Chains A and B, each alone.
Chain A
């Protein structure tokens, strides 16, 4: 698998580490309800199709990336820097 880092270009999978759903960017406010925390921490969709994930380019530029990937075909549909990614969508 290869990921096209917006800063470094196309790189081998092993330069990256996987974190999980891009939901991690939608950090709840201090006042969030228990249900909101539960959704943020534990509840994940498991789609057969496109999903947004967080990957860390630790052996490259140390960027966090939001990778849109199809879980069925493994096709990578989009890669963007987490700092440019929309916060509240997963």
Chain B
């Protein structure tokens, strides 16, 4: 019910919204919770396990009960806290976890079966028979117990990630945070003030006190105005700091577009990564409930929440409100209710020495021990020495004291200390380097003390930054002592709830202790207390106190569970923002990409690069037809392929040769200028890292090529060698992969093609196999390498990238004119398999030079990286897998990559494994599948037949083991 008063709602701007299809009206400034209460709606949700009717418990982000689903379809958000959701015109909210409706939920029968559903129920009941768990129990339980559901559709809303830096991050904008931000900002440092609420002020927005002689809320407004006027202050509202990480890094979630349409280009949420040199934690404190029988009835809420609804939103949460507590918060609440004209039916204080001047029925040394009502509170039972009184109340405001919101101080393995005086945990100093806790989150509760701590923390932060500043004059404010007498659970029968969100009662925690789950971490997992989306913000300390009592220990000895990020639920979509699709894997495109796609070539990924599989021609219906044709183009005429994706590293300096000698197993310093050599590179452990060719363009100038996949790895490897291992080398190198577009021109007609294109013709004698040098193409200086990955007479022609597309078009036209054409990765793969050339299919990180038959390339004349490790006996064993070729000789004429090899006639079991197939291609020239494989001691087994079994694809055949070079073993074609 809306009442008079000067709250933070704009009565001139009514807002209509729906809840479960019913249209309601609220005001700008309302949350969904305050607007529903104003409309008399108290039943907002059903509980997780027992489907008990629940209303709102809090007025903040810690809300365990009032979870709703907002929106529809792909942008549907489940488990939104009604206390956080601001209303806007057209907002659609729905209740969750009920069927067919919130008022009539058939699953509420779970509540009747409650004695059977207590702590450890799942563990005990559904253990047997085992198969029933997955097929029957789990699906049924999941349907019955649950929260809101996802839509199942891919997210269409925009989410964003962003980064911010500051000198001082102030977390929370209550009195402490405002004072801290102001003090730091006046010293001239960069300040970020992050506040999860939409309005700054924290508890000041909900309390009736004064600061410096004006209403506290006005002081907050004036202070915020000052901060807004300062260029070195950035205020972030609706932003929850969710985690504290190493090096002053903080995660924060900003709710950008959850309160209606803000702007079309803004995201729904933004996940911030804030790097702060210093931080002041001013997160405040959370009031805790008291456990008593049926303390979860709609209408029962925290005393601080009642004050918020009355003072901030001008909503009376009931017509007759009872107030119950163990500290002065209860008295403040009763006073505020009376001031707002709301009837207070009883004030119950568990402290026997408590007094009051308020004109209300007062019960000192008494407890609320029960509640009555159907779907909403109707009366409370009050127990005192003389007996039990029943008092009519449709709302109960309860306060069990306050817990400092110290979560962030524990995110880096910190543990809090127990403070007996306030019956709460307080942060230990220095648990997060650079972060200082101040005010209520530090266990200091009066407004005056909070203002002082805020300023003091800012000074300490400034001191850490080397900035001198003086303590500002502190505004005058309430400086009352906090008096509390611990009260966790009121004795009595029935279920007294601790964890509202996961339906965990005092009895459950006691049961856990009886069954010897005495460690707080065990109790938590056994009862599920604190494991819901609210992470037990309302219940952790209470449950711990009950466990401590049940096990006869003190609270500090019992200890706390671990506080982990995120402090508030964060949608995966927000954390992953920017990392989907191309954000996850950016595309690297060659200069020929557009023409290639236009030619209809299906593209495949090679690392981040995209390369063509094959170039289909009309009449070809399968990829194999295209591939076979492209292979024969190269073998019989001429083929052209873009090989620009190979890594290219330009190396210069007097010691360039010496560097290459150390990097490669074979010698490069002896390579003549104008020549290319194939090289093999090892890791420090003696296994092959990469291979490729390196050309010597001048005495002190080489250009190295790496495989496409290992380009980055080789680059950082070279950096490590030159910076860490061989530091004295006078050499510089840089990646030039993107600078050059490079094309393979391969086949018996390759020279003919080039001679029609180059400005000056070449011949076989002046350009022998493995020659390199500068050439000119249409006046453009280009590089020509006579190298071959196909075994044919072949060249690679490189031009600066800006000419790549034009050159590709020209090469393609000329190749087609000579009866050839462009070829893709499939053909390239067949061509190299026919020649036994390796790729990372073979050098997969587990292979040595010996394994791949290149032991001859390991120079005996010099040291090279990995040499010592490669000489270890285990790496030279004759029984190691060795590279061989395979030809199918069985009935099935197919070889499949990944298939395993066994001795002919041996059973295909792991113990008999002899090796496996790494690469397979169909050779049109030989009319057969060919395979490369690793076989135990394979080099000595040429001619043997082995059994090949592909258990995955169900293919089995017999293969003949042969030399891995199937075609032109003497290499005559390449030298032609």
B-binding residues in A (CB < 8 A): 1-3, 10, 12-13, 17, 19, 24-25, 27-32, 34, 37, 40-41, 54, 56, 58, 62-64, 73-76, 81-83, 85
Knowing A2-B275, A12-B275, A30-B863, the reply to whether A24 touches B247 (Cβ < 8 A) is no
Q: At the interface, yes or no: B723 with Cβ under 8 Å from chain A?
A: yes
The A-contacting residues of B in range 293-309, CB under 8 angstroms, are none
Are B412 and A64 in touch, CB under 8 angstroms? no
Are B684 and A56 in touch, CB under 8 angstroms? no
Q: At the interface, yes or no: B716 with Cβ under 8 Å from chain A?
A: yes
A75, closest chain B residue (CB): B433
Q: At the interface, yes or no: B248 with Cβ under 8 Å from chain A?
A: yes
B433, closest chain A residue (CB): A75
Knowing A30-B867, A64-B723, the reply to whether A56 touches B716 (Cβ < 8 A) is yes
Docked pose: A56 CA to B248 CA in angstroms? 21
Q: Nearest 7 A-B pairs (CB), nearest first?
A: A2-B247, A1-B246, A82-B724, A30-B863, A83-B723, A25-B724, A74-B246
The interface residues of chain B lying within 8 Å CB-to-CB of A82 are 720, 723-724
Interface bits B236-270 vs A (CB < 8 Å: 1, else 0): 00000000011111000000000000000000000
Q: At the interface, yes or no: B719 with Cβ under 8 Å from chain A?
A: yes
CB distance from A83 to the nearest CB of B (A): 4
The interface residues of chain B lying within 8 Å CB-to-CB of A25 are 724-725
Docked pose: A31 CA to B863 CA in angstroms? 10
CB distance from B687 to the nearest CB of A (A): 11
CB distance from A48 to the nearest CB of B (A): 12
Knowing A2-B246, A12-B249, the reply to whether A56 touches B720 (Cβ < 8 A) is yes
Knowing A27-B684, A28-B868, the reply to whether A74 touches B720 (Cβ < 8 A) is no
Knowing A1-B247, A30-B868, the reply to whether A63 touches B685 (Cβ < 8 A) is no
The interface residues of chain B lying within 8 Å CB-to-CB of A32 are 868
From A30, A37, A58, A76, B872 is in contact (CB under 8 Å) with: A37
From B412, B724, B725, A74 is in contact (CB under 8 Å) with: B412
Candidate in B163, B246, B863 with the most chain A CB atoms within 10 angstroms: B246
The interface residues of chain A lying within 8 Å CB-to-CB of B724 are 24-25, 54, 64, 82-83, 85
Docked pose: A21 CA to B684 CA in angstroms? 14
Taking residues whose C-beta sits less than 8 angstroms from the other chain, chain B's interface range is 20 to 34
Q: At the interface, yes or no: B727 with Cβ under 8 Å from chain A?
A: yes
The interface residues of chain B lying within 8 Å CB-to-CB of A83 are 723-724, 727
Are A1 and B249 in touch, CB under 8 angstroms? yes
Interface bits B862-890 vs A (CB < 8 Å: 1, else 0): 01010111001000000000000000000
A-binding residues in B (CB < 8 A): 163, 245-249, 273, 275, 412, 433, 684-685, 712, 715-716, 719-720, 723-725, 727, 863, 865, 867-869, 872
CB distance from A16 to the nearest CB of B (A): 11
Are B872 and A34 in touch, CB under 8 angstroms? yes
CB distance from A15 to the nearest CB of B (A): 12
Dominant SS among interface residues on chain A: mixed
The interface residues of chain A lying within 8 Å CB-to-CB of B723 are 63-64, 81-83
Docked pose: A24 CA to B684 CA in angstroms? 9
Candidate in A3, A28, A41, A85 with the most chain B CB atoms within 10 angstroms: A41
A64, closest chain B residue (CB): B723
Are A41 and B685 in touch, CB under 8 angstroms? yes
CB distance from A44 to the nearest CB of B (A): 14
The interface residues of chain B lying within 8 Å CB-to-CB of A54 are 720, 724
Are A41 and B720 in touch, CB under 8 angstroms? no
The interface residues of chain B lying within 8 Å CB-to-CB of A37 are 868-869, 872
Are A62 and B716 in touch, CB under 8 angstroms? yes
Pull 13 A–B residue pairs with CB atoms less than 8 Å apart, ordered by A. A10-B247, A10-B275, A12-B249, A12-B273, A13-B246, A24-B720, A25-B725, A27-B725, A54-B724, A58-B716, A64-B720, A83-B724, A83-B727
CB distance from A52 to the nearest CB of B (A): 12
Docked pose: A24 CA to B273 CA in angstroms? 33
B719, closest chain A residue (CB): A62
CB distance from B353 to the nearest CB of A (A): 46
Docked pose: A82 CA to B863 CA in angstroms? 22
Add 17 more A-B contacts to A24-B684, A74-B246 (CB < 8 A). A12-B273, A12-B275, A19-B720, A24-B720, A24-B724, A25-B725, A27-B684, A30-B863, A30-B868, A37-B868, A54-B724, A56-B720, A62-B715, A62-B719, A81-B723, A82-B723, A83-B727
CB distance from A89 to the nearest CB of B (A): 13
Are B684 and A41 in touch, CB under 8 angstroms? yes
CB distance from A88 to the nearest CB of B (A): 12
Candidate in B685, B716, B867, B868 with the most chain A CB atoms within 10 angstroms: B868
Docked pose: A58 CA to B711 CA in angstroms? 13
From A30, A63, A76, B247 is in contact (CB under 8 Å) with: A76
The interface residues of chain A lying within 8 Å CB-to-CB of B725 are 25, 27
The interface residues of chain A lying within 8 Å CB-to-CB of B872 are 34, 37
The interface residues of chain B lying within 8 Å CB-to-CB of A62 are 715-716, 719
A82, closest chain B residue (CB): B724
Docked pose: A31 CA to B872 CA in angstroms? 12
The interface residues of chain A lying within 8 Å CB-to-CB of B863 are 29-30
From B248, B712, B716, A2 is in contact (CB under 8 Å) with: B248
The interface residues of chain B lying within 8 Å CB-to-CB of A12 are 163, 249, 273, 275
